[in-house]
């Protein structure tokens, strides 16, 4: 404990000496003008072997040594100031970069629909030919261009084929892993099932049209460490959606797009 205090005191003393070195050097130079003048005066009078000459010359030699030491201290002080300025400039640059990252994160967290998108929607006809409890599956591909991991919540709402609204329930197919799209990644596919009744099947068979998902909410929220940062938000669907081509063909019909 005492050794630490002694070391700290010595460091403080040395730093204080270095900080005052420039002022001390100027004062010392001014103070030694008389010594230099005395040596020159004695030399001009021819008393170069007298005791006063040696005494003053010795004092001058010591002064030169002291000036050299103080000059070194001044150089150290200047280099410390320069390094301090460099560190401060680097610190400001890093702070500016951190501020940019923070602003970007805030922007993304509040507007996930700009950085998380549905890139494709594919309709799978399997199940529509069932005589009881028919259905079809919808596979959604997502990209996440944000810096946050996100997770899909349960679906809410309904979607349409032309003006026909599917009234029966829909749900994500069960998986062993959470429906997560990690930060800055894409191509993740998730599938949900739309249950049908006989009226739905007859309508699908009799029309050639596009699906519309405008009333079906696809909610994403933060996952893991992002959970507290990204609140649940609705993601936009592609418009228009896919056609019912595969469903019509599975039902034995010939699909032709309407004008």
Could you report the per-residue pLDDT of 85-106, keeping only the tens digit for each?
555 565 566 666 677 777 778 8
Q: What is the pTM of this model?
A: 0.62
| 3-class DSSP state of 175 | coil
Q: Is the CATH number of domain 112-250 1.20.120?
A: no
C-alpha span between 134 and 130 (Å, rounded) = 5
Choose among 27, 35, 13: nearest CA to 70. 27
Q: pLDDT higher for 123 or 53?
A: 123
Element (H, E) at 7: helix 2-19
Judge whether residue 149 has pLDDT over 50: yes
By residue count, the chain amounts to 259
Average pLDDT over residues 189-194: 96
Mean pLDDT of 40-55: 56
Q: Identify the band that residue 259 occupies on the pLDDT scale cut at 50, 70 and 90.
A: very low
Band (161; pLDDT cuts 50, 70, 90): very high
DSSP letter string, 43-89? HHHT-TTSHHHHHHHHHHHHHHHHHHHHHHHHHHHHHHHHHHHHHHH
The pLDDT value recorded for residue 225 is 87
Domain layout of the chain by residue ranges: 2-110, 112-250
Tokens read off for 238: 């592609």
pLDDT of 187 reads: 87
Tens digit of each residue's pLDDT (9 = 90 or more) over 104-136? 788 888 888 889 999 999 999 989 999 899 999
Q: Is the peptide bond before 240 cis (omega within 30 degrees of 0)?
A: yes
């Amino acid at each position: 404990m005492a050794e630490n205090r002694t070391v700290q005191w010595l460091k403080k003393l040395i730093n204080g000496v270095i900080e005052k070195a420039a002022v001390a050097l100027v004062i010392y130079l001014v103070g030694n003008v008389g010594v230099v003048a005395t040596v020159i005066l004695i030399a001009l009078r021819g008393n170069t072997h007298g005791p006063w000459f040696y005494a003053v010359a010795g004092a001058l030699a010591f002064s030169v040594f002291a000036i050299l030491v103080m000059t070194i201290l001044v150089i150290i002080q200047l280099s410390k100031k320069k390094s301090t300025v460099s560190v401060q400039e680097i610190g400001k640059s890093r702070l500016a970069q951190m501020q940019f990252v923070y602003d970007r994160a805030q922007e993304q967290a509040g507007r996930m629909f700009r950085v998380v998108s549905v890139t494709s929607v594919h309709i799978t006809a399997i199940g529509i030919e069932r005589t009881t409890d028919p259905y079809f599956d919808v596979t959604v591909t997502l990209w996440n261009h944000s810096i946050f991991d996100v997770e899909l919540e349960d679906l809410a709402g309904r979607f349409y084929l032309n003006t026909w609204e599917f009234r029966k329930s829909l749900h994500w197919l069960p998986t062993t892993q959470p429906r997560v799209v990690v930060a800055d990644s894409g191509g993740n596919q998730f599938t949900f099932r739309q249950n049908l009744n006989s009226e739905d099947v007859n309508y699908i068979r009799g029309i050639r049209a596009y699906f519309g998902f405008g009333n079906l909410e696809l909610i994403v929220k933060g996952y893991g460490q992002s959970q507290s940062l990204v609140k649940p938000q609705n993601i936009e669907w592609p418009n228009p959606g896919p056609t019912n081509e595969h469903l019509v063909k599975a039902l034995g019909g010939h699909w032709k797009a309407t004008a």
